[in-house]
A and B are shown apart, each in its own frame.
Chain A
Amino acid sequence: MLELTDVTRSVRLADDRVLHILTGVTLRVDAGEHVAVVGRSGTGKSTLLNILGLLDSPTGGEYLLDGASTRRLSGRRRARLRGESFGFVFQQFNLLTGRTVLENVAAPLLYARGRQFWSRNRLAAEMLERVGLGDRLEDMPDRLSGGEQQRVAIARALVRRPRVILADEPTGALDVDTGTAVMTLLDDIARESGAALVTITHDLAVAARSGRHYRLADGVLVPVTLVSPDRPGSLAEWVGDVPTLGASTDGAPAPRAVPAGGAP
């Protein structure tokens, strides 16, 4: 369904230097798959997620969505595909202030058409019921706990029945127990709806819930296998990479992750 081939992304800085964020990412995500990408802060995880979600475009390489190239998509078409195919879950929840929980979840349906648009409040209420917040419809988000706010964000990401859920550090702002509960909910709902789930995290316990795992280092995505969810090890064992300045990636610390298939 999603297929990245040698995707690069670089940006020109104010002092005219070029920052290479992704230097050759190849990734394939099929329908219903759960994929985790781990990496240290600043390694380009969010950039990768933005490219997958059509919020950003690659500088080079190819991104195929359902077998079709996304390179020549118009802004309007990208926006429409984004709304129809992707649901985003952000680390900071990004709920709309001043709107009730119900209005927040119904907000994406304002950009839908037909029945989804006209039934937006009912669909939003059903989704909130599903995430266990059916009794908080008229509450303001700032009256909810962090875990509840993230559940609202999950309901909002899923209300248009996307085919892919892109979760950017979904437990980053939550304590361990709440994070576990939220991830369980996200996994379950994604599975129920048959949506693919791409989770970006630096939490190995969160990553371990996915079927496939990748580590982003040196702008390259490397498939890895977790040793054990119970002994995830420290993040330092996994990543040590930062985006490189200039064209060269020489001198970057070698990753010390366990390559896929090479786990002891």
Chain B
Amino acid sequence: MTGLVGALVEAWDELRVHKLRVLLSLIGVAAAVTAITGVTAAVGMLGQAMREQTERWSGRETTLTVSAYPVTGSGDAARASEAMADVVERYSVAYASRVGWGQMAVELPGGTQILSGQVVDPAYGVIHRIEPGQGRWFAPSDADRLAPTLVVNQAFLDALAVPDVSGHPTVVLQGRQGVLAEVVGAVPDQYPGEPPTYTVLTDQVERWGLSVDPWGAGASPPALELWVPPADVPALRDRVDQDLRAALPGWQVDVTEPVGEAGVLDSASRWVIIAVSGFALLLGGLGLLNIALVTVRQRIREIGIRRSFGATSGRVFFGVLLESVVATLVAGVVGVVLAVVALDALPVDRLLGTALQDEPPFPVSAALTGLACAAGVGALAGLLPALWAVRVKVIDAIRY
């Protein structure tokens, strides 16, 4: 025990005394560890950003999309809605949303306009990671409110001649009878010149008869999105498909599962990054080896003096080796800290073009890998000087 502690104390003392040397020799190692850790973390963030972007369009990774339509060309949309609601209840799906498109007559300051919009349930916001820039997304209680609520785009607000949603703007929707709806949230326009659009809850549309059918095409049944645990995807896909086919004879039922991680950086590119960082680490290690060899030659006398104190050759070997390992470990820790600070300071949303909803955790495994690599490089770089130090004859060393 005292041997190990003593060797550690000795190694630390050496580093303390030769601060400048250590600092210079370890810059490469620290930089390489920063690169390994930082790049791995950045890749994780980039991957997450791409994943979230994809999920905004197509829903979370394990979202099943159910669509049903009559083969004959006409069918009871309400019956389809009911069958879908039964499925959601039967399998206790926590996040499920009907998804459809519709048109409503909206009374704007410039006159009544027929506007297209999306008709969903509150869980749609969770499934599609929607975070309105202003106000809020629908709460489950909104479905039961007497007055409808709307989440609109910026163009809708502009048409309404209100700057934002802080004043709880309202708008009259024409349905079976006119109803005053409150705008609770707003999202940015998705592209310049986007027309005014809105999202409204399915229950409210049904309650107030808000849908208009200017072309007389008839109501089409909504699709259903189910965000389910990954392990349940295959089983639920089959069961939902069977249940709906049984409940809707003569209907075409499609249950599609996600196609996999779209747009996420593949593991090959990650390995390329790690390989490049590893090479940088190796170069740092060579610099360390070079300086370690030179300084051990300068320290022959000291090694001899320590041998006169009773240092065994094993202790001398271990001490010199440990010096190198402790140094590179310290450099590794510095590298990891630098990576953390750098990633923290990075304007991720500006760089990635979007704010991350679920920021990936700091890649501890990458940090540990970086530290292990640093220690390994330290051990390799310390091996030659340590062997050399042991071969020095004590009496020659003292006289050196």
Contacts and interface: CB of A to CB of B under 8 A. Distances in A.
B313 A75 contact: yes
- Which of B18, B302, B309 has the most C-beta atoms of chain A within 10 angstroms of its own C-beta? B309
A180 to B, nearest CB: 25
Interface stretch (B5-13, B236-244, B266-274): B5-13
The binding surface of chain A is classed by DSSP as: helix
A83 interface: yes
B2 A96 contact: no
A83 B310 contact: yes
Contact of B10 (A53, A55, A110, A113): A110
A96 B310 contact: no
B309 A55 contact: no
Contacts of A113: 2-3
A94 B2 contact: no
B302 A96 contact: yes
B9 A55 contact: no
Contacts of B313: 75-76, 79
- Which of A46, A88, A110 has the most C-beta atoms of chain B within 10 angstroms of its own C-beta? A110
B311 to A, nearest CB: 5
B314 A96 contact: no
Interface string A96-129: 1111000100011011111001100000000000
Interface in B304-343: 305-315
Contacts of A70: none
Interface residues of B, number: 25
A111 B309 contact: yes
A76 B314 contact: yes
B18 A98 contact: yes
Contacts of A83: 309-311
A158 B164 CA distance: 83
A83 B17 CA distance: 24
B391 to A, nearest CB: 12
A111 B310 contact: yes
A23 B6 CA distance: 40
Interface string B111-129: 0000000000000000000
B310 A79 contact: yes
A63 interface: no
A79 B312 contact: yes
B312 A88 contact: no
Contact of A82 (B2, B5, B6, B310): B310
A76 B394 contact: no
A53 B309 CA distance: 10
B307 A79 contact: yes
Given A110-B6, A114-B2, A98 B17 contact: yes
A57 to B, nearest CB: 10
B298 to A, nearest CB: 10
Given A76-B312, A108-B310, A103 B305 contact: no
A84 interface: yes
A9 B148 CA distance: 106
B305 A94 contact: yes
Given A90-B398, A99-B17, A111-B6, A80 B301 contact: no
Contacts of A81: 310
A125 B88 CA distance: 79
A80 B310 contact: yes
Interface string B373-396: 000000000000000000000110
B308 A82 contact: yes
Nearest to B9: A110
B29 to A, nearest CB: 22
Nearest to A111: B310
A139 to B, nearest CB: 15
A240 B394 CA distance: 28
- Which of A56, A79, A97 has the most C-beta atoms of chain B within 10 angstroms of its own C-beta? A79
Contacts of A111: 6, 306, 309-311, 315
A99 B302 CA distance: 12
B18 to A, nearest CB: 7
Given A98-B17, A112-B2, A117-B2, A56 B398 contact: no
Contact of A79 (B10, B13, B301, B311): B311
Nearest to A88: B308
Contacts of A178: none
- Which of B9, B314, B394 has the most C-beta atoms of chain A within 10 angstroms of its own C-beta? B394
A98 B13 CA distance: 9
A98 B310 CA distance: 21
A80 B315 CA distance: 11
A113 B312 CA distance: 14
- Which of A55, A114, A160 has the most C-beta atoms of chain B within 10 angstroms of its own C-beta? A55
Contact of A94 (B10, B314, B315, B398): B398
B226 to A, nearest CB: 65
Nearest to B305: A94
Contacts of B308: 53, 55, 82, 86, 88
A162 B398 CA distance: 20
The 9 closest A-B CB pairs, nearest first, are A83-B310, A98-B17, A108-B309, A79-B312, A111-B310, A117-B2, A110-B6, A88-B308, A113-B2
Interface of B: 2-3, 5-6, 9-10, 13, 17-18, 301-302, 305-315, 394-395, 398
7 contacts: A76-B313, A79-B311, A81-B310, A94-B398, A98-B18, A108-B309, A118-B2
Given A83-B309, A110-B9, 9 more contacts: A55-B398, A56-B395, A75-B312, A75-B313, A76-B313, A76-B314, A94-B398, A98-B18, A112-B310
